[in-house]
Structure 1
Amino acid sequence: MASSANSNTTDEYQNILMMRHGDRIDKINPLWLDTASRPWDPPLVQDGLVRAFQTGQRIRSQIQFPIHRVFVSPFIRCVQTASEVIAALSAVDLNPNATSSKDVISIDKSKLKVSIEFGLSEMLNSMAIMPEVAPKDGKFDFKISDLEAMFPEGMVDHDVDPVYKEMPEWGETVEECTERFLGLVKTLADKYPSENLLLVTHGKQGILGSVIVLYTHTF
């Protein structure tokens, strides 16, 4: 799991962190694909959930600025990752030796807000998603209400107007995907200039294609 952030931690600047999702089941157990109803949308394995929670704990203890808002790709591996990170960031009381959100007893719901953003989706072409597992009609369907229910109660911001109102088209080029991510990072930074953001996304173009333009804005 990777993350990047502006190294300046004073209150003068906006900070943006980008995080890749945790360990997905199809990379650990390829046989999962044989019976999966949504083979293009693999969830995390247990180790991935634990790693995500621990990453949230490290962010909380090591960075010197608060996270105000989280934006998440709609793929379930990213939603699960974000849910664990948010639980770690917002925990008020938790069991000793906590390793996941299940160990959190209570959270501070005022800590941050979360929203699903289609623009943070995986690169939608055969380089990132094998054609044999991609939807035959090229349409990636998500039930947003079910995904939002995976976050701690009260933390979803239903008033947010997403930058991308629907999924990108299947068959986008690497250049188009890179442009999508770079434009999205800038748009979100400009839209919330006084807030520090965490973007939970995918590794190929999500982080690698965007890290060179993590924008720093003066309030």
Structure 2
Amino acid sequence: MDSKMHSPDFYQNVVVMRHGDRMDNFEPLWASTATRPWDPPLFRDGWVRSLQTGRTLQRNLGFPIHRVFASPFLRCVQTASEVVTALCAVHDDPNALSSDSILIDPSKVKVSIEYGLCEMMNSTAIRPRVAPKDGDFSMDISKCEALLPAGTVDVKAEKLYKELPKWEETILSTRARYEKVFKGLADKYPTENLLLITHGEGVQVALSAFEKDVQVAKIEYCAHVKLRRPVFKKDQSFTAGDFKMLNLSGESGVTFSLPNSSTNHNDEV
């Protein structure tokens, strides 16, 4: 039977989120002494924002997150650590600004690093004066995984991209990469809801690729968009429909406009 002719067996949800506030945008001199100036950590406000955003997701999403994927860039891994802590919290003081004292159940969420969610690998996104001259960004996945909450890393998960894209990939190929990764991860885990922690361009693609003619004006730190698609089960296989936006009129931290509309939609984190 055509999947369009009957109701889906269930819906799959995918949340695509930008990392928290990055250090070099608040401490201009940071890069001048950093050993990896192309890979800034979170600024102090970014840690707080990431934890609070995780709490917001846990409280307001209306569905559980089963699996988290993060770009290997440090700011995304650190963001994932805070968000996952909030999602896995057993006892959490909502007024606490640090995740250090939060007790978690690591079985609630599994986390993986995915190269395909990385920053645009070109001088549009990574400032030429800080990019490594030989194009070697040397991401150590084991060090990335060590920054995530203990017990949450899925060591068996296979990456869609086995390495970072080559330096100076085009903007168009970056956008195609993000869309491919969003769909690829969803297809790989069709029975699970996913949270993908990436970069601003990735969030823009998550919005524009699945909503025709949308114009994105601004993407805040930790902004996120929510995608949903119907999934149909036959025997032991799954097929899925197209992704649609959830609550398009109020995506947290994203300012955008729709065709034939003079209204900007915005819901700040």
TM-score computed with the length of structure 2 as normaliser:
0.75
Q: Which amino acid aligns with 1:149?
A: A
Over residues 84-125 of structure 1, what are the superposed CA-to-partner deviations in whole Å (9 max), with x where a residue is unaligned? 000011010234622221131x11111010000000000011
Kindly provide the CA deviation profile for residues 4-27 of structure 1, in whole angstroms up to 9, marking residues without a partner as x.
xxxxxx982000001100001100
Moved over 6 A (4+): none
In structure 1, the partner of 2:49 is 51
- Equivalent residues, number: 208
Match of 2:188 among 188, 191, 205: 191
Maintained 8 Å contact 2:9/2:231: no
Q: Which has the larger radius of gyration?
A: 2
The residue number in structure 2 matching 1:128 is 125
Identical residues among aligned pairs (%) = 56
* Counterparts of 1:195 and 1:96, CA distance in 2: 27
TM-fit CA distance, 1:218:
1.2
Q: Distance in 1 between matches of 2:176 and 2:149?
A: 32
1:118 equivalenced with 2:131 (yes/no): no
Distance in 2 (CA, whole Å) between partners of 1:187 and 1:91 is 29
Match of 2:99 among 98, 101, 107: 101
Name which of 149, 152, 155 aligns with 2:149. 152
Secondary structure at the aligned position of 1:194 is classed as coil
Query: Which of 187, 208, 216 does residue 229 from structure 2 map onto?
Result: 216
Aligned partners of 2:122, 2:140: CA distance in 1, in Å?
Answer: 22
AA in 2 matched with 1:90: C
Partner of 2:66: 68
Q: CA deviation at 1:147?
A: 1.1
Q: Offset at 1:215?
A: 5.8
What's the CA shift for 1:59?
Answer: 0.3
Aligned to 1:175: 172
- Gaps of at least 5 residues in structure 1 are 1-9
Asked if residue 207 in structure 1 is aligned to residue 203 in structure 2, the reply is: yes
RMSD over equivalenced CA pairs, Å: 1.5
Indicate the larger mover: 138-147 or 92-101: 92-101
Unaligned runs of 5+ in 2: 1-7, 211-226, 233-269
- Residue 27 (1) aligns with residue 25 (2): yes
Letter in structure 2 aligned against 1:190: D
Matched residues in 1 for 2:9 and 2:58: separation?
17
Relative to its length, the structure with more helix (as a share) is 1
Cα deviation digits, residues 47-101 of structure 1 (max 9, x gap): 1000000000000010110000000000000000000000011010234622221
User: Could you give the per-residue CA deviations for residues 125-169 of structure 1, whole angstroms, max 9, x where no partner exists?
Assistant: 110011111011111111211111111111100110100010111
Q: Normalized per residue, which structure has more strand?
A: 2
User: Which letter maps to 1:218?
Assistant: V
Q: CA deviation at 1:181?
A: 0.5
Aligned partners of 2:127, 2:172: CA distance in 1, in Å?
19
| Normalised TM-score (structure 1) | 0.91
Once residues 100 and 202 of structure 1 are traced to their aligned partners in structure 2, the CA distance between those partners, rounded to angstroms, is 23
Flag the 1:11–1:17 CA change in 2: closer, same or farther, 3 A: farther
Q: Is the 8 A contact 1:71 1:200 kept in 2?
A: yes
